[in-house]
Amino acid sequence: MNVVDAIRLKRAVRKFQDKSLPDDVVHAILNAGRRSQSSKNTQAWRFIAVRDKKILKALSQCGEWAGHIAGAALCVAILTPEPAEKFQTMFDAGQAAAFMQLAAWELGVGSCPASLYEFDKAREILGFPAEWHLRIALSFGYALDEEKISAPPKKGGRMELNEVIHFDKW
């Protein structure tokens, strides 16, 4: 699959088959995150790759809209330095998230980001140290609705180009 098609066809998948991902697929997803670019190449992130069902369930309760994590085959928690200190921190986390999700899509794996608001609870579940912070985790898995993977983009899912773009000046 080429990049433009992956971007055009990719959609959020929140309901997954009860089917694990092969190790090489997990590796390819994580490696895409590792390869991502970052401000001054600081690579200011760590990834916790969760496949344990109990931990997935616990994480799914750390955010109002994070329920989809419970049914995922894999959840990648993106740890960062304190997000409020530098505007590049979450920007770089977003770049890594995009790389992982596009790589997954090419491999037939759906995904969706979840915001986690129960910061202390998430820290307790995953056991990471005080200098790392968790705001967003990604669910991955084979889509329950397999047609989603090859369906054309829905109409109206995004603003039109002329609503989003200005040329040279606002």
**Contacts (CB under 8 A) with a second copy, residues 104-143:** 105-106, 113, 115, 126-129, 135-136
Check if the beta carbon of residue 80 is closer than 8 Å to that of residue 90: yes
Question: How big is the CA angle at 150 (ends 148 and 154), to the nearest 5 degrees?
Answer: 65
Q: Is 151 in the site for a second copy (CB under 8 A)?
A: no
Compare residues 97 and 142 and give the one whose CB is closer to a second copy: 97
Compare residues 147 and 163 and give the one whose CB is closer to a second copy: 163
Residues 6+ apart with CB under 8 A from 42: 92
Scanning 13-21, 88-96, 137-145 for contacts with a second copy by CB under 8 A, the matching segment is: 88-96
Q: Is 157 in the site for a second copy (CB under 8 A)?
A: yes
- d(Cα 134, Cα 107) in Å, to the nearest integer? 26
Q: Is 39 in the site for a second copy (CB under 8 A)?
A: yes
Helix (H) or strand (E) holding 163: helix 161-164
Using CB under 8 A, which of 67, 81, 83, 108 touches a second copy? 83
Phi-psi region of 138 (alpha: psi -120 to 50; beta: other; left: phi over 0): beta
Q: Is 103 in the site for a second copy (CB under 8 A)?
A: yes
> Smallest distance, Å, CB 2 to a second copy?
6
